[in-house]
Amino acid sequence: MGAAREHWGSRFGFIMAAAGSAVGLGNVWRFPYTTGTNGGAAFLLIYLALIIGFGFALAIAEMLVGRSAQRNPVGAFRALGGRGWPVVGYLGITTGFVILSFYAVVAGWTLAYIVMMISGNLGTTDPEALNQIFGGFVSDPVRPVLYSAVFMALTGWIVIGGISHGIERWNKVLMPALFVILLVLVVRSLSLPGASAGVDFYLKPDFSKVTSQTFYDAIAQAFFSLSIGMGTLLTYGSYLSKDEHLPKAALTVVLIDSGVAILAGLMILPAVFAFGFNPSAGPGLTFVTLPAVFASMPGGVFFGVLFFALLAIAALTSAVSILEPMISYFVDEHGTSRHRAVIVAGLVCFGLSVPASLSFGPAADVTIAGKNWFDLMDFLANNVMLPLGGLLTAIFVGWIWKAAENELRNDGRLHLPWVPAWHLVLRFLAPIGILWIMASALLF
Ligand code: PFF
């Protein structure tokens, strides 16, 4: 422990960092295609209901635990909950390794696509040809691995800089840049002739596609997108001073996150329809269909580079926030220097990303429970570990940590009449909702 804990330089800096964590590949890469294949606006409505129903309450809860304890996830649960509870922190740290192992792979692809876009390798409107380019690239045993290495090096470099001089400083630049790029691309997409068919597809609810699996996908998406359930918001909250007004900051972050997800759909689907491409191309929507869209539009290389830069920025600011909880754990609990912790954890994460990358090539047939490494890590993190972390956090703040309500009111100083409702959500709605959704998807 030793030296005083570093804090955010400003409230704006904290909000940009937390929004940078939330806004990531989950919003821009995963959300549009998941919505596209899950009944469009029907999925969007369920997703928003889950965020309003308990995502927001959980985001506040996590930040609050961190702010009160002023420690990493393991130390925070130990300080406030005592014996047994640090397990939730360890679960979170482990989840970070699991997520980064596949996150770094897709993030590496975004860097590669910036390069390929600039060098003109993607200049064809034929989706079949682009499918082959994508397949050829991701199955290569070397190139995607190198791009993941570059991505992890960038991530580590920002985290080494510390809280205010590294994470905050970069988020304050990168997040506004991301918003500007997003708006430019949404306007470009919506102004294409024929764009409205995409808007209809995106926003017209098709409830016949809704099953228990839809709810499960929506909850996994909500947790992943808000960065809930692995101690990231807790760790970022631990760098806040005790008198910060938490609910407002959390609300801003939730609004930015959902807003960007919705806008990402409006950026992608109208353009896809305008040129007559197939919207339900699944995960390949971004890397196969969109290059064809860009090749079809005037100034496509410019917009294409902007798009993949947006994706890379979103991925980078999120990866930073996935790495930081581990680093704060090693620094707080083991007295490791930040430098050393980042290098070791970064190398381990990169090591874990290699089999994930090879899952698209030489190791495609190496499966556990029918899933290759990439899919297994993705499934474990999104569908098991994050919901479990969220469930345990809700139980902890709802039932175990008696001072929660008072702490949220900044030691009783703030008059917040809705705090009992927030507490009830954590006690009942969140745990029952999470368990019910997980059980109905896994058992039936
Ligand atoms: N929220 C990020 C995204 O939507 O891509 C991913 C993420 C970041 C998940 C941080 C979990 C986390 F702790």
For residue 191, the model assigns a pLDDT of 94
State percent of the chain over pLDDT 70: 99
* 350, part of any domain: yes
* 113, part of any domain: yes
Q: How far is CA 443 from CA 100, 332, 375, 428, 434, in A?
A: 28, 40, 20, 22, 14
Index of the ligand 1 atom closest to the CA of residue 232 = 13
Q: Looking at this protein, which amino acid is placed at residue 429? A: L
Q: Is ligand 1 within 6 A of the CB of residue 20?
A: no
Q: Domain range holding 337?
A: 11-443
Give the distance from CA 68 to its chain's centroid.
24
Q: Is ligand 1 within 6 A of the CB of residue 155?
A: no
For residue 435, the model assigns a pLDDT of 94
Confidence category of residue 1, pLDDT binned at 50, 70, 90: very low
Q: Is ligand 1 within 6 A of the CB of residue 286?
A: no
Q: Is ligand 1 within 6 A of the CB of residue 99?
A: yes
Q: What mean pLDDT value characterizes the chain?
A: 94
3-state helix, strand, coil in the chain (%, to 5): 75, 0, 20
What CATH number is given to the structural domain containing 161? 1.10.4160.10
Question: Which pLDDT tens digit goes with each residue over 322-360?
Answer: 999 999 999 999 999 999 999 999 999 999 999 999 999
Distance CA 374, CA 372 (A): 6
For residue 4, the model assigns a pLDDT of 82
Cβ atoms of 383 and 371 closer than 8 Å: no
pTM exceeding 0.85: yes
Cβ of 92: how many Cβ atoms within 10 Å? Answer: 29
Q: Is the pLDDT of residue 67 over 90?
A: yes
Q: Which residues pair with 42 in a beta bridge?
A: none
* 1, part of any domain: no
Mutate to test the pocket of ligand 1, among 224, 230, 320 (most ligand atoms within 8 A of CB): 224
| Secondary structure element (H or E) that encloses residue 254, with its range | helix 246-274
For the segment 39-45, the average pLDDT, to the nearest whole number, is 87
* 4, part of any domain: no
For residue 3, the model assigns a pLDDT of 64
Q: Is ligand 1 within 6 A of the CB of residue 35?
A: no
Q: Is the pLDDT of residue 171 over 70?
A: yes
DSSP category for residue 411: T
Q: Is the pLDDT of residue 317 over 50?
A: yes
Determine which of 81-90, 262-271, 386-395 has the lowest per-residue pLDDT on average.
Answer: 262-271
* 41, part of any domain: yes
Index of the ligand 1 atom closest to the CA of residue 231 = 13
Question: Which pLDDT tens digit goes with each residue over 210-264?
Answer: 988 888 889 989 999 999 999 999 999 999 998 889 999 999 999 999 999 999 9
For the segment 182-191, the average pLDDT, to the nearest whole number, is 95
Question: Which pLDDT tens digit goes with each residue over 254-306?
Answer: 999 999 999 999 999 899 999 988 877 777 889 998 999 999 999 999 999 99
Q: Is ligand 1 within 6 A of the CB of residue 34?
A: no
Index of the ligand 1 atom closest to the CA of residue 27 = 4
Q: How many domains does the chain have?
A: 1
Mutate to test the pocket of ligand 1, among 21, 93, 262, 386 (most ligand atoms within 8 A of CB): 21
Q: What's the CA-to-centroid distance between 96 and ligand 1, angstroms?
A: 9
Confidence category of residue 201, pLDDT binned at 50, 70, 90: confident
Residue with more model confidence, 379 or 443: 379
* 5, part of any domain: no
Nearest alpha-carbon partner for 63 in 22, 104, 3, 4: 22
Distance CA 130, CA 295 (A): 11
